[in-house]
Chain A
C-alpha cells in the first residue's frame, strides 16, 4: 500500500514550494546584518532533518502491508 507514501511525497512537493517562496522572500527583503540569515539557516536545517528522517523511514520499512481495520472494531 504505497498510497500513503505518494500522498506524503505530494505534500512534500507543496511544502518545498512554499518553503522556497518563504526563503526567497526573506533573502530578498531581509536586511544585511540582521537575524534573517540565521533564522533561515535554522529553518532549512530543521526542515532537512525532518525530511531526511522520514525519507530514511520510508526506505527502511515495507509498504506492502494492507490496512487492518479490525483495530477499530470492524
Chain B
C-alpha cells in the first residue's frame, strides 16, 4: 500500500491515504473557456471603442475606462480562482479505513460524506460516451450495506476502473480482516465488483 504524502483535514494519525481522486480536468475546461471569453470581451470592447468612439478613451472617460478595466480584470481573476477552488477542492479520498467524498459546491457551500470500507457491498465503474472513453474518465459507484449512505459515487474521475480495483481490493482486505477477528475461517468475501464499458 503506497502512503501518499498528502494529508487532508481530519485525517487520523494511523490512517493512510491510498488514493485521492478529482474530477477529470476536462470538466474544468468549460470554466476556463468562460474566463477566456470574459477576457476577450474586454479586448473586443477596446477594439470597438478605438474604432468607433476613440474620444471615449481620452480625458475623464479614458481615466474611468482604465479604472473599470482594472476592476474588470480583478473580477475575472477572482472568477477563475473561485472556479478553480470549486474544482480542485472537490475530491474523493480513499484511505485504508474509509471513503471520503468532499463536495465543494461553491465558496460557502461544502459537504463531506464518509463511508467505512467495512460497509461496502458492491463497487461498479462506468465509462459512457466518446470523450470519456478517449480521455479515460468515468463514474465509480460504491454501494453500501447501511441505509444511511446508500450509494457513494465518484463522478467523472480519471481511470475509473483502476479506482474500482483499488477500492474493491481494500474493501475485500478489510472484510477478510474483520472475518479473521471474528474467527471466521473462510476467505470468501461478500464484496463484489462490476464493470460497464470498455476496460
Chain A positions within 8 Å of B, measured between CB atoms, are 1, 4-5, 8, 11-12, 15, 18-19, 21-22, 25-26, 28-36, 39, 43, 46-47, 50-51, 53-54, 57-58, 61, 63, 65-68, 71
Contact = CB atoms under 8 A, between A and B. Distances in A.
A68 B60 contact: yes
Given A29-B89, A63-B63, A22 B8 contact: no
Contacts of B63: 4, 57, 61, 63, 65
B106 to A, nearest CB: 10
A8 B64 CA distance: 9
A43 B60 contact: no
Given A39-B84, A71-B61, 20 more contacts: A8-B70, A8-B71, A15-B71, A19-B78, A21-B108, A26-B89, A28-B9, A29-B89, A30-B88, A30-B89, A31-B91, A32-B6, A34-B88, A43-B81, A46-B77, A47-B74, A50-B74, A53-B70, A65-B60, A67-B60
13 contacts: A1-B60, A18-B82, A18-B107, A22-B81, A25-B89, A30-B88, A30-B89, A31-B6, A32-B5, A32-B6, A39-B84, A43-B81, A53-B70
B7 to A, nearest CB: 5
Given A31-B8, A67-B60, A22 B85 contact: yes
Interface stretch (B51-59, B116-124, B134-142, B190-198): B51-59
A33 B5 contact: yes
A39 B85 CA distance: 9
A47 B81 CA distance: 11
B110 interface: yes
Nearest to B54: A71
B77 A43 contact: yes
User: Could you tell me the dominant secondary structure of chain A's interface residues?
Assistant: helix
A32 B7 contact: yes
B66 interface: yes
Nearest to A64: B60
Give the 5 A-B residue pairs with the shortest CB-CB distance, closest first: A54-B70, A71-B55, A65-B60, A33-B6, A8-B67
A47 B78 CA distance: 9
B110 A54 contact: no
